[in-house]
A and B are shown apart, each in its own frame.
Chain A
Amino acid sequence: MAEPETSFSGQEGSLYSIRGLTKVYGEGPTAVHALRGIDLDLPRSSMVVLLGASGSGKSTFLNIVGGLDDATDGQVFFEGRELTALGPSELTEYRRNSVSFVFQFYNLVASLTARENVALITEIADDPMTPEEALALVGLEKRLDHFPSQLSGGEQQRVAIARAVAKRPKVMFCDEPTGALDSQTGVIVLDALDQVNRELGTTTLLITHNVVIAEMADRLLRFADGALVEDRNNPRRIAPSELKW
């Protein structure tokens, strides 16, 4: 990856500063422009919801900012350090030490209990909570020794959230965390995310198709056709339990 030509290192106080972020898949006439020059600054501790139809670019954005994919052009700065200039092993360290993920299909290890799934992450973290603390945070203190096959979908997703927060990450990326759940269970999961964001101050980027969910965020980013078409702050965050869909 080329060295940045400018001395820009992000906006003062921002957790992320993103400039001209572009991602193109393929070449020539078949090239697909997944992101078309996104400029954005994200402050610490905010709850941000990313909205948009399939193929709008929100997942690509999350993958690049989360250190899973590289950009075709543009820069992403995390705490003043350029992520887009990092190599694969430095990105691994970034994911290991600074950020965390919650996936649509939970991605728990079936052969580990809830406690052990969380321990999987606490074992490699510098200053983690105990798995028991993390699971208590999402209300699963009584399900510590259950295997994924013994948990409901909502419980599994809450284990995934406990696993994500246990290492006290600066940022948590959630890709459709309620996509596989019914609304009632979805609310419980969102409640857990909301609680983590408020209590621990973890910056949370949440992808969803569901416009209603945007109401629980500080800020809403809407993607369409690879571009950021809407960026607005919510005057008031609504508690997940008050959301209706």
Chain B
Amino acid sequence: MVSLPAWLGALDRKLLRDIWRLRSQAFAIALVIAAGIGMVVMSFGMIRSLEATRDAYYDRYRFSDIFASAKRFPERQIDEIRSINGVSIVEGRITSGATLDIPGISEPITTRIHSLPPGGMPRVNALVLRSGRMPDPNQPTEVLASEKFADAARIGLGDRIEALLYGKKQNLRVVGTVLSPEYIYAIGPGQIFPDNRRFGVLWMGEKHLAAALNSTNAFNEALIRLERGGNGQDVIDRIDTMLERYGGRGATLRSDQISDRFLENELAQLSSMTAILPPIFLGVAAFLINMVLSRLVESEREIIGLLNAFGYRNRTIMAHYAKLALVLSLPGLIMGMMLGNWMGRGLAGMYQEFFVFPFLTYRAGFDIFLISCLVAMAVVLLGAAQTVRKIGKLTAAEAMRPPVPPNYSGGFAKLIGKIRKLDEPTRIILRGLVRRPFRSMLGSFGIAAALGLYVTSAGSMDNVGLMTDLLFNQANRADVNVTFAEPRDERVLHELERLPGVMRVEPVRYVGATLSAGHLSRTESLTGMKPDGDLNRLVDIDGGLTQPPPRGLMISSILSKQLDVKPGDEINVEITDGRRPQLTMPVAGILKSPVGNPAYVDFERLGPIMREAPLSSGAYLSVDPDKADALYRRLKDMPIIAGFSQRAAALNGIEETVGETMGIVTLFNTGFAALIVFGVVYNNARISLAERARDLVSLRVLGYRRPEVSYILLGELALIVIAGLPLGAVFGYYLSKYLTASMSGDLFILPFALTAETVAMAILVVLLTAAVSALFVRSRLDRLDLVSVLKTRE
């Protein structure tokens, strides 16, 4: 026995020795508390770190408040925008798409190129120079590349890359790598996951980019920073009016910027996870504390009576047990804080895979630790409350009397007696369960919580699997998807058809448009699709196929909510390309589209709407894999090709990054689920053993074999676990459904795709963990002293 310091009071000495005696149960509880507190610390800390980092990044690098784009507007227009009330800084720039030919990558790479102002560093959306230097204004070929893209595509400083820019080949030289607040989440058009190898951003001197695009003294984008308190919508309205005659596409607020939206979406997801998962752990922890403490008090009735008889006040005794519960939780709290900090750092590292910040330091902060402490204490006291209250009601005489023998003559116990076929050990198990229905039920709930957690976590892999299947196998079935530098007539399609390996070509047309209904409006694009298309199809989240309507618009369910319209309603369409026609179109149908806010029209209808011959913005190609390399070589040389994506490569990229990240998250959640199972099963078994030791040893003495006695001890647990399984499967189903829904926003709808295999796997994991935890206790059963128990009265 460890010697304790002399100044410690008698009750505190008892407390410490009790803790030592209960150490293995305390450890199991500590693990569950640690998981709950760890999640609280990690999630709150992560939300705070992400928000703080984002705000600091946006502020320091002057991230644009408003983005305005047009076909082409003169430089002097910038001064006019600057004169709008509420505008602080305006900067014009040129943005263009381009394809790159990078050594070692057979397919052309889609990039976006932004111009750098004459001074070098942009005043709005300033860049973080990570390596190398800014381009020399006198060197037309020098460019900056986004850091993640340069890393993924293995482009080093000084490397030359060939770009096809506005139909002309340009030999560019990367002289620096940068980060931009505009590309924290960098995704290609129509994507939802970053693929850094196949989508990159370049920056080059304004003069040189303008020359390459034949666009001197003009911009096609304006970036606006507002004054503090400036009214964004007013500024947008003024800018839209100003740029209308230059082919303005409708200015948007930062909150509509794609990278910011994904970041915001991530924060919302993190918040909803924080609201659900830690309470599950902490609820289980409260239950375990309740269970352990009530058993302890039951076995210490005489001691409580003695203390009472010696003149200890009731509240002193109650405080003693409450303190014991608190001390019991202390290791869990400390472990939880350390775990949370550690997981937070790990999560920050994982976020860097998707969200690129110049710095992302996970910092939980003192107040989060303090809140965690308070939460943990509240949970522990909640768990201890019932037992402590019971102590308060015990009188000395009552407490010193041995507890009344448990009465089993009640209804259910009688009923069990009527089932003649049961053997006696099974009867013992069943009566034990019904005598403490609340405890048994809570035990099953604990198991259900663990199973639900695992199902939810593993189910998210199913969801992403279905999402990628919908996007890459059901909807987009083209091997290659190209976009043109500008819309072209059908001759380009014939040209594509004649390229090596091309088996089928289907055109697609995008036009910018402002869609409005009543006072609600959205700046989106209309997609013209061939009704009989096979390479790009309209697929809803349930996998159902539909066709673009012969009349009117097929809009996504997200867009229908944003505009508050239903089928049959009229939408005002102001097209911001070409002749900028304005018309009203009926909503012909609503598509529960997995990604984005598309509005579809029949490809053939778009020509008459635009008052021009049918044009294509791009095409879907089906390609003979054996001839793919030859095709890519030709595409790299085609001036018309401004964007390129290869389905298989994109799918691989997603599976690698997303799969790996979700794999880690699932591994953690599996571990957490296992902790709950261990906590519940181990504590239940230990308490069951303590309560039944006398019975079990008596049976051993009377000739029962070890497996027969184990059956009584573990059979009850097995029933608790088994009862928890269907509960857990149902709980997991709904939790998973809820979380899936809460993760979907106006960026994408995550399909709910939980499979029976996932649930079966979850059940297997829970059963295995339960079996291992039970074996720990069974080994104690073997060590019970047959002789000593017989001489003692319980």
Residues of A participating in the B interface, judged by any CB pair closer than 8 Å: 59, 63, 66, 68-69, 89, 92-93, 95-97, 100-101, 103-105, 107, 109-113, 116-117, 119-121, 123-124, 145-150, 163-164, 175, 180
Q: What would 5 A/B residue contacts be, using CB atoms closer than 8 Å?
A: A69-B786, A69-B787, A101-B702, A110-B405, A149-B409
Q: Closest chain A residue to B794 by CB distance? A: A105
Does B132 reach chain A (CB closer than 8 Å)? no
Bound complex: CA A167 to CA B323 (Å): 51
Does B407 reach chain A (CB closer than 8 Å)? yes
Query: Quick check: B406 and A112 within 8 Å, CB to CB?
Result: no
Query: Quick check: A103 and B409 within 8 Å, CB to CB?
Result: no
Taking CB atoms, residues of chain A closer than 8 Å to B706 are 89, 92
Bound complex: CA A98 to CA B20 (Å): 42
Known: A110-B408, A112-B431, A120-B425. A68 touches B791 (CB 8 A): no
Number of contact residues on B: which range applies?
Answer: 35 or more
Q: Closest chain B residue to A113 by CB distance? A: B417
Does B646 reach chain A (CB closer than 8 Å)? no
Kindly provide the distance from the CB of B702 to the nearest chain A CB, expressed in whole angstroms: 6
Known: A103-B790, A107-B694, A111-B432. A149 touches B408 (CB 8 A): yes
Query: Quick check: A124 and B406 within 8 Å, CB to CB?
Result: no
Taking CB atoms, residues of chain B closer than 8 Å to A109 are 424, 428, 695, 698-699
Q: Closest chain A residue to B712 by CB distance? A: A109
Query: Quick check: B699 and A149 within 8 Å, CB to CB?
Result: no
Does B703 reach chain A (CB closer than 8 Å)? yes
Bound complex: CA A147 to CA B274 (Å): 49
Query: Quick check: A92 and B793 within 8 Å, CB to CB?
Result: no
Bound complex: CA A29 to CA B282 (Å): 53
Kindly provide the distance from the CB of B531 to the nearest chain A CB, expressed in whole angstroms: 72
Bound complex: CA A69 to CA B786 (Å): 8
Kindly provide the distance from the CB of A60 to the nearest chain B CB, expressed in whole angstroms: 9
Q: Per-residue 0/1 for B682-700: is the Cβ within 8 Å of any A Cβ (1 yes, 0 no)?
A: 0000000000001100111
Bound complex: CA A148 to CA B793 (Å): 15
Query: Quick check: B790 and A175 within 8 Å, CB to CB?
Result: yes
Q: Closest chain B residue to A120 by CB distance? A: B424
Query: Quick check: A124 and B703 within 8 Å, CB to CB?
Result: yes
Query: Quick check: B703 and A107 within 8 Å, CB to CB?
Result: no
Taking CB atoms, residues of chain A closer than 8 Å to B427 are 111-112, 116
Known: A120-B425, A123-B423. A100 touches B702 (CB 8 A): yes
8 nearest A-B pairs in the assembled complex, by CB-CB distance: A96-B703, A111-B431, A107-B698, A120-B424, A95-B703, A149-B405, A149-B407, A111-B408
Near A by CB (< 8 A), chain B positions 568-609 give none
Query: Quick check: A149 and B404 within 8 Å, CB to CB?
Result: yes
Taking CB atoms, residues of chain A closer than 8 Å to B699 are 109, 120
Q: Closest chain B residue to A122 by CB distance? A: B424
Taking CB atoms, residues of chain B closer than 8 Å to A175 are 790-791
Bound complex: CA A217 to CA B702 (Å): 24
Query: Quick check: A107 and B409 within 8 Å, CB to CB?
Result: no
Bound complex: CA A150 to CA B425 (Å): 21
From A68, A104, A117, give the contact of B701 (CB < 8 A): A68
Kindly provide the distance from the CB of B436 to the nearest chain A CB, expressed in whole angstroms: 11
Taking CB atoms, residues of chain A closer than 8 Å to B701 are 66, 68, 95, 101
Taking CB atoms, residues of chain A closer than 8 Å to B787 are 63, 68-69
Taking CB atoms, residues of chain A closer than 8 Å to B793 are 105, 180
Known: A63-B787, A68-B787, A113-B417. A96 touches B424 (CB 8 A): no
Kindly provide the distance from the CB of A80 to the nearest chain B CB, expressed in whole angstroms: 21
Taking CB atoms, residues of chain A closer than 8 Å to B423 are 123
Query: Quick check: A147 and B409 within 8 Å, CB to CB?
Result: yes
Bound complex: CA A140 to CA B59 (Å): 89
Bound complex: CA A123 to CA B406 (Å): 24
Query: Quick check: A119 and B424 within 8 Å, CB to CB?
Result: yes
Taking CB atoms, residues of chain A closer than 8 Å to B792 are 105
Taking CB atoms, residues of chain A closer than 8 Å to B702 are 95-96, 100-101, 120-121, 163-164
Does B413 reach chain A (CB closer than 8 Å)? yes
Query: Quick check: A107 and B700 within 8 Å, CB to CB?
Result: no
Query: Quick check: A145 and B431 within 8 Å, CB to CB?
Result: no
Q: Per-residue 0/1 for B97-125: is the Cβ within 8 Å of any A Cβ (1 yes, 0 no)?
A: 00000000000000000000000000000
Taking CB atoms, residues of chain A closer than 8 Å to B406 are 110-111, 149
Q: Closest chain B residue to A121 by CB distance? A: B702
With a 10 A CB-CB cut-off, give which of A96, A100, A120 has the most chain B CB atoms.
A120
Kindly provide the distance from the CB of B661 to the nearest chain A CB, expressed in whole angstroms: 51
Known: A107-B694, A107-B695, A119-B424. A92 touches B431 (CB 8 A): no
Query: Quick check: B790 and A107 within 8 Å, CB to CB?
Result: yes
With a 10 A CB-CB cut-off, give which of A59, A116, A119, A145 has the most chain B CB atoms.
A116
Does B776 reach chain A (CB closer than 8 Å)? no
Bound complex: CA A3 to CA B439 (Å): 50
Taking CB atoms, residues of chain B closer than 8 Å to A68 are 701, 786-787
Query: Quick check: A112 and B703 within 8 Å, CB to CB?
Result: no
Given contacts A69-B787, A107-B698, A147-B413, 5 further A-B contacts (CB under 8 A): A95-B702, A105-B790, A105-B794, A120-B699, A146-B409
Known: A120-B424, A123-B424. A147 touches B407 (CB 8 A): yes
From A96, A113, A148, A149, give the contact of B704 (CB < 8 A): A96
Does B72 reach chain A (CB closer than 8 Å)? no
